[in-house]
Structure 1
Amino acid sequence: MTHRTIAMALFTASLAVTLPVAAMTEQQFQDKAEQVFAPLMDEYDVPGLAVGITWQGKHHVFTRGLANREAATPVSRQTLFELGSLSKTFNVTLAALAQERGLLSLDDQVGERLPVLKASPVGALSLMDLATHQSSGLPLQVPDDIKGDSALMTWLRQWQPTAGAGHERAYSNVSIGLLGRISASAFGQPYAQALQEQVLAPLALASTYVQVPAAQMQRYAYGYGRQDDKAIRVSPGMLDAEAYGLRSNIDDMLRFVDINLGSTAAPKPLAAAIAATHQGVTRTAPFTQAMIWERYPWPLSREQLLAGNAPSMALEAQPASRLAKREAGEQGVLFGKTGSTNGFGGYAAFVPDERIGVVMLANRNVPLEARVDASYKLLQQVLETGR
């Protein structure tokens, strides 16, 4: 081999390392999104949706269908969707920020922060237990007959784990709702105010709301019930803002994913708090539970991802074990979270190694596996354009 041949080979190898992956055209993205999500919309009679990909620092957005069937209002990038349990990812960001600022420790027991619960099983849980659903069986929802904070605290004092329950993972709006209350109290503010002033405003998420302002209500989509197809929006409930009460649009959610990817800057304390929410804390069979975010090995099979999003993971207690040391690395990890209300269904996932993330927002509560499967398929197809 001549010196010139060697030099050319080295130059070519350096290009393979330094040149960016081939760009995806907007038309390519629109075609891929249409091919993936049109069948899903047809199968589940989804009135409207917005799907976004953030990849290598660029956003691509696909919208289809109606935000309001009666008014024939099309979905746009400005349409506000209910986030359901995607709201929990903001809740834990507030909690981690409170720790970052020295206002609390996530190792604190609930009873230390809420003395009214000190001598109860709930009071013995740590704040990190609340953030990772490792709550010895707290139910998914607060009972319907519990009205007001006094009744809530009485019920929590009296609650007992089910017979034989250990420290398993039990997905619960109650546990994450308590965490939000405690974190906001550490800032000396009600939850909605604390979230707005400490998280949403500093992250420049100007279209993410606990309560949609009157001037923005025309942007707020109606959800459509899976059983009766009636236009609905989420009803007020105990711990709703903390657990499932946020509304947002596709652009804000892509920005939030970008911040989680580290491709969009955030104020240092918030960046550190967000990094803390990514740390793996508890091991379950299909994934490692971080602070609400679920960590899957990347690359992973479709089957493993769907197993982690099976209904049983939300509706049934699952064996889990607390890791001796938290997993702080983000290489080789896909982070994901679903969110649902009676009329809406969403999903967000991101892979730091690939600098890619996906968000799906729909005004129908599409089955978890179906929305995750479609989003994963789109993410994979986008990555294939650069390989």
Structure 2
Amino acid sequence: MWSTRPVAPLVMAAALLMASNTAMAEKTQNLDELVNSTITPLMKQQDIPGMAVAVIVDGKTHIYHYGLADVKNQRPVTDDTLFELGSVSKTFTGIAGGYAVQSGILRLNDPVARYAPQLTSPQWRKITMLQLATYTAGGLPLQVPDDVDNTDALWLYYQHWRPQWTPGTQRQYSNASIGLFGALAVKNSGLSFDAFMKQHVFTPLQLNHTWINVPAEAEKDYAWGYRNGQPVRVSPGMLDAEAYGVKTTVKDMAAFMQANIDPEALAAKEAGLAKAIAIAQTGYYKIGDMYQGLGWEMYPWPADAEKVITASGNDLALKARPAKRLSPSRPVTAATWLHKTGSTNGFGAYIVFIPEKKVGIVMLANKNYPNPARVSAAWQILQKLP
């Protein structure tokens, strides 16, 4: 005759499991409602054709798709849709620079002339690679001028450029600055920037749908961006790969964010990359309340929402502001709001995460819309997470 004594514990275990699953389902439903109630009105207000959003909570990734990647052909946004990251690409460039540092082929405090001997003008013996990376070289412009369209013209441009301010004293956001940093950071590897990024960042993080140059087989997944209702994509330009050239999917960006939230998890298999991420997340200059890393912009957590949102607007973000070199540099801490906005003519991207809370959000859109609206939407979601 079978004993019935084990039944009570089994029933209790089953009940606990059912309760746990129910609680998890309710938590997911609440998150879905929170994200949908934030993103849907945002898209309507900003007239955004399509978006993909990833939210990380307690180490788990939740993916959301909205609208169309291609309006003409009614192609919906999916896990595989490729978006242009614009300046969010700079966080990848920062990690590439960090990898070059930890591998011994770059020293941030070296003068630029050490890596570009063709730049013989005296300022390049004083401006450091770190100052290029943090936009504090002395006033390089937002963009490389349009008439600089080949390598010879590029070097001639930098040779004749002169600092407006003493290097290291003012931060002025600049593709021409961090773009040159990226190109020179990988120079001693013998690899192109694209190849270096693939070998040392994309592949180790298993970002299998992340590209600088989208291959023919992935073109079918490449979204169209929209400007004034017309389809557009980013145009080639000098140092575009280093400053704003990455195209990727929401799933790859979620994996990238997870690695940045917890780089120590990479240490066993990818020790060099874990160190590179930590180097990129280090605060080297302080500008107001913000710390400037390699690509990343950071605020101590808890942060002031109004200040972070206001500072993301172009009227302040692109303005020259006093910068203070931190000595020693500020190592990354878990209680930090790390974020970056990015735009091309037809796309708008945003990534933010707080390592201490193990939460983060990626928002990819095929329209360039105001940065404060992106940061505000992410803040609304993050503040309501458990």
TM-score for both structures, normalised by structure 1: 0.90
CA shift, 1:314, in A, is: 3.4
Task: Say whether 1:273 aligns with 2:276.
Answer: yes
In structure 2, the CA distance between the partners of 1:365 and 1:135, relative to structure 1 (3 Å rule), is same
Give the aligned residue type for 2:226: Y
- 3-state SS in 2 of match to 1:121: helix
- 3-state SS in 2 of match to 1:25: helix
1:49 alignment counterpart: 51
Query: Any residues of structure 2 matched to 1:5-44 within 5 Å, and which?
Result: 23=24, 25-44=27-46
Q: Is the 8 A contact 2:132 2:178 kept in 1?
A: yes
One of 340, 345, 350 as aligned partner of 2:348: 345
In structure 2, the CA distance between the partners of 1:374 and 1:85, relative to structure 1 (3 Å rule), is same
CA shift, 1:155, in A, is: 0.8
Q: Is the 8 A contact 2:135 2:177 kept in 1?
A: yes
Q: Is the 8 A contact 1:96 1:106 kept in 2?
A: no
1:256 alignment counterpart: 256
Give the aligned residue type for 1:341: T
1:90 alignment counterpart: 92
CA shift, 1:63, in A, is: 1.0
Q: Is the 8 A contact 2:266 2:273 kept in 1?
A: no
Q: Is the 8 A contact 2:52 2:365 kept in 1?
A: yes
RMSD of aligned Cα (Å): 1.7
2:239 alignment counterpart: 239
Q: Is the 8 A contact 2:131 2:167 kept in 1?
A: no
CA shift, 1:123, in A, is: 4.6
Query: Any residues of structure 2 matched to 1:210-229 within 5 Å, and which?
Result: 210-225=212-227, 228-229=228-229
Please give the alpha-carbon distance, in whole angstroms, between the structure 2 residues aligned to 1:30 and 1:186: 47
- 3-state SS in 2 of match to 1:357: strand
Query: Any residues of structure 2 matched to 1:281-300 within 5 Å, and which?
Result: 281-300=284-303
- 3-state SS in 2 of match to 1:160: coil
2:5 alignment counterpart: none
CA shift, 1:329, in A, is: 3.8
1:5 alignment counterpart: none
- 3-state SS in 2 of match to 1:325: strand
* Structure 2, unaligned runs of 5 or more: 1-19
Give the aligned residue type for 1:335: L
Give the aligned residue type for 2:351: A
* 1:170-224 alpha-carbon deviations (Å, 9 max, x no partner): 1010111111111221210111111111211111111110011111111110000
CA shift, 1:31, in A, is: 1.2
Task: Say whether 1:305 aligns with 2:308.
Answer: yes
In structure 2, the CA distance between the partners of 1:325 and 1:164, relative to structure 1 (3 Å rule), is closer
Give the aligned residue type for 2:182: G
- 3-state SS in 2 of match to 1:117: coil
The alignment covers a number of residue pairs equal to 361
Please give the alpha-carbon distance, in whole angstroms, between the structure 1 residues aligned to 2:130 and 2:194: 21
2:188 alignment counterpart: 186
Please give the alpha-carbon distance, in whole angstroms, between the structure 2 residues aligned to 1:104 and 1:294: 22
Please give the alpha-carbon distance, in whole angstroms, between the structure 2 residues aligned to 1:379 and 1:194: 34
CA shift, 1:251, in A, is: 0.7
1:12 alignment counterpart: none
1:112 alignment counterpart: 114
In structure 2, the CA distance between the partners of 1:193 and 1:166, relative to structure 1 (3 Å rule), is closer
Q: Is the 8 A contact 1:295 1:333 kept in 2?
A: yes
CA shift, 1:127, in A, is: 1.1
Please give the alpha-carbon distance, in whole angstroms, between the structure 2 residues aligned to 1:218 and 1:380: 37
Please give the alpha-carbon distance, in whole angstroms, between the structure 2 residues aligned to 1:112 and 1:300: 39
Please give the alpha-carbon distance, in whole angstroms, between the structure 2 residues aligned to 1:173 and 1:78: 28
1:16 alignment counterpart: none
CA shift, 1:163, in A, is: 6.8
Please give the alpha-carbon distance, in whole angstroms, between the structure 2 residues aligned to 1:67 and 1:174: 30
In structure 2, the CA distance between the partners of 1:312 and 1:253, relative to structure 1 (3 Å rule), is same
Task: Say whether 1:137 aligns with 2:133.
Answer: no
Give the aligned residue type for 1:265: L
Give the aligned residue type for 1:101: S
Please give the alpha-carbon distance, in whole angstroms, between the structure 2 residues aligned to 1:188 and 1:315: 33
Please give the alpha-carbon distance, in whole angstroms, between the structure 2 residues aligned to 1:122 and 1:378: 44
CA shift, 1:252, in A, is: 0.6
- 3-state SS in 1 of match to 2:118: helix
Please give the alpha-carbon distance, in whole angstroms, between the structure 2 residues aligned to 1:259 and 1:308: 26
One of 327, 340, 358 as aligned partner of 2:330: 327
In structure 2, the CA distance between the partners of 1:333 and 1:164, relative to structure 1 (3 Å rule), is closer
